[in-house]
Structure 1
Amino acid sequence: MKPILTYIAFIVIVVGLGMFSGLINPPGDWYATLEKPFFNPPAWLFGPVWTALYVMIGIAGARIWLKAPASAAMQVWFGQLVLNLLWSPAFFRLQSPALGLVVVLSMLVAVIAFIVLARRIDRAASYLFLPYAAWVGFAALLNLSILILN
């Protein structure tokens, strides 16, 4: 497969899965009733931020796939994606900030592990995950705050 097709496939799959997860696990009325911390971002911000992050996640995945598809970094990349897709059902569908916190903290560990492992294979791929790590760290803090407040 030509590299450009690999990039396109990874981006389309990651963005598509992220959008699908968001559509089938909306925040709903339950979330609206929860107490939120003062630093909770406005709802409109999550879509653009996650879309940009999903594009970077896709590009990073494609870069590693093209260089080392059977590597530990690639396995961790798939693992973090699964955890990413599990957070919305855990938090919103099951209405469980506690389970959401377990998932988001596991995701943060996986994202950091990918950064470390990918750096040996492709520095750009690891750098593409830095904003993702920052956002997931923030999401973990937000999730923890909602758990404490409710």
Structure 2
Amino acid sequence: MLFLTFLIACGAAAATGYFFQPGTWYDELQKPDVTPPRWVFPVAWSVLYVLIAWAASRLAVIPGSGTVMALWSAQIALNTLWTPVFFGAHRTDIALGIIILLWLIVALMTFLSVWLDAWAAMMFLPYLAWLTIAAGLNHAIWQDNR
């Protein structure tokens, strides 16, 4: 049941992708050659959200996990915010700030999780890797489309 609760939170974050889709604005942007095809994003995020929820459900029951769970809450809020800022408001500069803060929070959450549940911490590593790629893409798009 706990896993389902965290999966619903991740689903809410994912829903912003439905309401704020890339559209023609995104299609017309200069993007780096390493930009993955569109179909990769929903596939990657689906896997990541399952891992993020699974890790949270493991960590939430561990005594002393309050700080990690507070960071989990902050990261899902920032994760939810990025899509409407980037795709909705077309503010690649603000979105870059959000994703950098998101990366820092996920990195700290991952580091602190190691001491509580190493498996949960490892489940955050693909998320951190994907955020690294996404931040690089966001930065390149911001730089090339001012």
User: Aligning the two structures, in what range does the TM-score lie when normalised by the shorter sequence?
Assistant: over 0.9
- After superposition, the CA RMSD in angstroms is 1.2
Match in the other structure for 2:105: 110
Distance in 2, Cα, partners of 1:31 & 1:78: 29
Question: Deviation per CA, 1:119-142, whole angstroms, max 9, x where unpaired?
Answer: 111111111000000000110000
1:18 is displaced (CA, Å) by 2.9
How many residues in Structure 1 have an aligned counterpart in Structure 2? 145
Paired letter, 2:130: W
Q: Is the 8 A contact 2:52 2:123 kept in 1?
A: yes
Could you list the per-position Cα deviations for residues 45-104 of structure 1 after superposition, in whole angstroms to 9, with x for gaps in the alignment? 100100000000101111111114761111001101111111101111110110110011
Match of 2:4 among 5, 8, 21: 8
Q: Choose 61-70 or 99-108, whichever is displaced more.
A: 61-70
Give the % identical residues. Answer: 33
- Assess if the C-alpha contact under 8 Å between 2:22 and 2:87 holds in 1: yes
Out of 58, 62, 66, which is 1:67 matched to? 62
The reply on whether 1:56 has 2:51 as its aligned counterpart is yes
The question of whether the paired residues in 2 share the 8 Å contact of 1:53 and 1:131 is answered with: yes
Q: Which runs of 5+ in 2 are unaligned?
A: none
Question: Residues of 2 paired with 1:30 and 1:75: CA distance?
Answer: 35
1:7-62 deviation line (CA, Å, top 9, x unaligned): 22222331x21331111111122111101000000001100100000000101111
User: TM-score scaled by structure 1?
Assistant: 0.92
The answer as to whether partners of 2:55 and 2:123 remain within 8 angstroms in 1 is yes
> Stretches of 4+ moved more than 2 A in 1?
none
TM-score of the two chains, using structure 2 as the length reference: 0.94
Structure 1 counterpart of 2:129: 134
Compared CA separation, residues 83 and 34, structure 1 to 2 (3 A): same
